[in-house]
Amino acid sequence: MHVTQAQLLTLIRGKAKLGSLSLRQIAKLIEQEGKPQIVKYHLQQLEKAGLIQIDLSKGVIKPVKRGFATGVKSLFYSIPIVGAANCGPATIFAEERTEGYVKVSSSLLPKRRQDLYALVTNGPSMNKAVIRGTLTIEDGDFVIVDKSQVVPKDGDIIVAVIDGMATIKRYKLDKENERIMLDADSTENYSPILISPNDDFQISGKVIDIIKKS
């Protein structure tokens, strides 16, 4: 996130009536005095990311929160995007901060919607993994994760965090050797990740849906 956008987001979350101020006044608050168009541009970028709602004609500048948003024809739920995870070696950290929101029809979601978060996928190692019958996990897609499901069944697709790094893999329990295997499901050849009881490893949830990149 651009530093100016981070400053504006902090200001919006902490100042309830920011919309009553002019762009020039807001610019002064973030040490961009005399640059109202820069403020306007970065507010628009935050809106595109789904982090804020703005209507300058009505003096509205407010943060978007996890929850329902009523549309013209249907009811949607905003799920926070908290970072990225590799579909390959675990090399991208899934940071616990909200980078935006994806809106999903509530009819497609389980009842415990507060346990859901989204990750951006990176890499091809799960591009044969099928969710909901037809959808595959490809580079750049959003996966919807249920963080309450941390005791997976054999074959479930999970988000695993290894030494602080996140990866999406298929969970396999190797009872004979008393270890967990994290398998790729890809058109390319990837070796499984083998987890022993002493490794820094945790399960951050089960992948339950995919939102395809546009």
Residue 92's pLDDT band (cuts 50, 70, 90)? low
Q: What is the mean pLDDT of residues 37-66?
A: 79
Predicted confidence (pLDDT) per residue in 128-159, tens digit: 998 887 788 998 899 999 989 999 999 999 99
Summary mean pLDDT of the chain: 82
* CATH, domain range 68-211: 2.10.109.10
Rounded to whole angstroms, the Cα distance separating 97 from 25 reads 28
Task: Show me where the domains of the chain are located.
Answer: 3-63, 68-211
- 122: tokens are 């990176």
Rounded to whole angstroms, the Cα distance separating 181 from 32 reads 52
pTM over 0.75: no
Predicted confidence (pLDDT) per residue in 169-206, tens digit: 999 988 888 889 999 999 999 999 999 878 888 899 99
Q: Is the C-alpha dihedral spanning 130, 132, 136, 139 positive or negative?
A: negative
